[in-house]
Amino acid sequence: MPKIVDHDERRLELVDATWRIIAREGMEGATMREIALEAGFANGALKPYFPTKDTLLEFAFSHVFNRTNRRIADVTGGRSGLDALSAFCLEVLPLDEERINEARIVIPFWQKAVTDPGKAEIHRQSMEEWVDTIRHYLAEARSSGDVRAAVDDSLLARQLLNMLLGAQIEAALAPPGRTDFGHAAQLEGYLALLRC
């Protein structure tokens, strides 16, 4: 069914165009007209793919989240415990240009979500998935004796998740071109605390 593949590919082209505009000019710049222009579509030709800007933005955010999760699956495959947890966090942290751009996209999405229950729910579900992932690795690390901290894993998981989210803000609001925020060293330091 080549038609369907084509439809999906075009949706991804539009998502990419949206990202580029948001990362460059912020959410306000991403009008349907600008997105069409950036993606090389005729004005009005977006409707069959995304009837509204809102459906496009929700799809775009879910796609960032899915893409991050695919990268996570690649780097955590065959690993467990603290080793897997470290790989997971290093993939979420904004350690390079691509992921700093993702941070610049996720903040406008959060801003929308503050007053849009549907988007807030997408965010919360994504974060619950990540909390579960972190807890799973922590449980493995407890079994192997790598984590001995006398603090409940559910508290540790949410601590760590909030740290990862805060890092997105730091990276997205940094002067252009800056890519080193010491986040990898911070993570290493945090994992050292858990080993106590």
Query: Applying CB under 8 A, does 26 fall inside the site for its own copies?
Result: yes
| CA distance from start to end of the chain | 56
Rg (CA), the chain: 19
- When binding is defined by CB under 8 A, the residue of 67, 166, 179, 180 that contacts its own copies is 166
Cα dist from 130 to 1, 39, 49, 55, 137, whole Å: 34, 32, 29, 24, 11
With 0-12 CB in 10 A as exposed, 13-18 as middle and 19+ as buried, what is 136? middle
Footprint on residues 50-69 left by its own copies (CB under 8 A)? none
- Compose the 168-187 pattern: x for residues touching its own copies by CB under 8 A, - for all others: -xx-xxxx-----xx--xx-
Residues 116 and 81: their CA atoms lie apart, in Å, by 36
Footprint on residues 84-143 left by its own copies (CB under 8 A)? 104, 107-108, 110-117, 120, 123-124, 127
H or E segment to which residue 158 belongs: helix 153-172
Residues 104 and 126: their CA atoms lie apart, in Å, by 18
Query: Applying CB under 8 A, does 32 fall inside the site for its own copies?
Result: no
Q: Are 85 and 77 in contact (CB under 8 A)?
A: no
Query: Applying CB under 8 A, does 145 fall inside the site for its own copies?
Result: no
Nearer Cβ to its own copies, position 37 or 165?
Answer: 165
Q: CB 191 → its own copies: shortest distance, Å?
A: 10
Nearer Cβ to its own copies, position 99 or 104?
Answer: 104
Of 8-16, 65-73, 82-90, 150-158, which part binds its own copies (CB under 8 A)? 150-158
Task: Give the binding site for its own copies (CB under 8 A).
Answer: 24-27, 29, 104, 107-108, 110-117, 120, 123-124, 127, 149-152, 155-156, 158-159, 161-167, 169-170, 172-175, 181-182, 185-186, 189-190, 192-194, 196
